[in-house]
């Protein structure tokens, strides 16, 4: 791309680099035609700063569109390219997967080509912006665009839709546990799971005892959540012990996300079990949301996955935390 000042007599067909007052505003990015040049001359302008393509260059909009094309897979929609920008939007609710290494490699190819995305595993709603391609100069070499598109491939950005499914909520209570807390817990869990496409099919309340929890896990459901009357302090505590007593296994105890440290996960007859932390009684974001969103999008959540949540896992400073 050629860039710099040019006499008006040579500027026809060039792209105006900066807005100019000439009988009104002549906006930057305008491809200068005869009428534009006449306006500029009448305003006493002798030269303008412009951009002109070199052989093989693509315009900013065409470059943005081509790069966005390779990102627009199932569940993704490309907006109209304008001012060197093309946006990628979600066509439904789900979880974004981003190949961070591919995006970083693409952004390292040429300083004039940029791609910004949401974080990997970000939860999105229909119509939400997931990524934006911005071409900084008015023209960029076509070979650069081809290299960026090849680097990104067809899988750098994906939307995993929430699949839905049937959920059972098991709540335990002690003798002095208030009914109001049960109702509040159910309402918040219902809103949480229905927000990611699940259906809370049934709710059972049982004594805070291992065998009672085990009996409540014998159910045909896609996901079982346990909300205990008291926090789970150990793998041998009531709720995880109930998973074992039901013939299942505890696959993870605790997570490096705060709030949400006291979550646990398990399996009973291949049905995922999530022991919710006490903070799940609040609608505020916590580690359980990250786990439920991934399950809702059809992803397995392994021990390694949870261990990797530590970076970025400090969600909120607690005012009563000791320092």
pLDDT average per 10 residues of sequence, the chain (323 residues): 97 96 92 96 95 98 97 92 98 97 98 98 98 98 98 93 98 94 97 98 98 96 97 96 98 98 97 97 97 98 97 80 51
pLDDT for 321: 53
Among residues 174, 167, 76, which one has the least CA distance to residue 117? 76
User: Which residues, at least 6 apart from 266, have a Cβ–Cβ distance to it below 8 Å?
Assistant: 240, 243, 248, 249, 250, 251, 272, 273, 275
CATH label, 57-161, candidates 3.30.70.20, 3.40.50.170, 3.40.718.10, 3.90.1170.30: 3.90.1170.30
Which ranges in the chain are annotated with CATH 3.40.980.10? 165-310
Looking at the chain, the domain(s) classified CATH 3.90.1170.30 span 57-161
Q: Is the dihedral of CA 140, 141, 144, 150 positive or negative?
A: positive
Please tell me the predicted confidence (pLDDT) of residue 323.
47
**Cα(135)–Cα(57) distance, integer angstroms:** 12
User: 165-310 belongs to which homologous superfamily?
Assistant: MoaB/Mog-like domain (3.40.980.10)
């Amino acid at each position: 791309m050629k860039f710099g000042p040019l006499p008006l007599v040579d500027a026809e067909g060039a792209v105006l680099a900066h807005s100019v007052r000439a009988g009104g505003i002549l906006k930057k990015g305008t491809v200068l035609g005869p009428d534009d040049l006449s306006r500029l001359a009448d305003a006493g302008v002798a030269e303008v700063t412009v951009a002109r393509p070199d052989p093989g260059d693509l315009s900013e909009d065409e470059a943005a569109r081509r790069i966005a094309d390779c990102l627009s897979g199932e569940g993704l929609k490309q907006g109209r390219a304008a001012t060197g920008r093309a946006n990628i939007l979600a066509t439904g609710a789900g979880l974004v997967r981003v190949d961070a290494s591919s995006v970083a490699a693409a952004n390292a190819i040429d300083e004039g080509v940029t791609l910004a995305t949401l974080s990997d595993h970000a939860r999105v709603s229909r119509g939400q912006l997931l990524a934006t391609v911005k071409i900084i100069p008015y023209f960029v070499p076509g070979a650069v665009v081809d290299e960026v598109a090849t680097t990104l491939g067809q899988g750098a950005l994906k939307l995993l839709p929430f699949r839905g499914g049937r959920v059972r909520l098991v709540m335990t209570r002690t003798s002095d546990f208030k009914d109001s807390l049960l109702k509040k817990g159910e309402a918040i869990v219902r809103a949480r799971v229905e927000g990611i496409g699940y259906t809370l099919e049934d709710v059972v309340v049982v004594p805070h005892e291992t065998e009672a929890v085990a009996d409540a896990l014998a159910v045909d459901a896609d996901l079982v959540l346990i909300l205990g009357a008291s926090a789970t302090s150990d793998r041998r505590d009531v709720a995880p012990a109930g998973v074992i007593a039901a013939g299942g296994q505890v696959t993870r105890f605790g997570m490096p996300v705060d709030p949400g440290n006291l979550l646990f996960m398990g399996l009973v007859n291949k049905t995922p079990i999530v022991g919710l932390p006490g903070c799940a009684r609040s609608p505020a974001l916590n580690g359980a949301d990250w786990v439920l969103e991934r399950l809702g999008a059809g992803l397995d959540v392994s021990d390694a996955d949870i261990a990797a949540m530590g970076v970025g896992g400090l969600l909120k400073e607690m005012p009563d935390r000791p320092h």
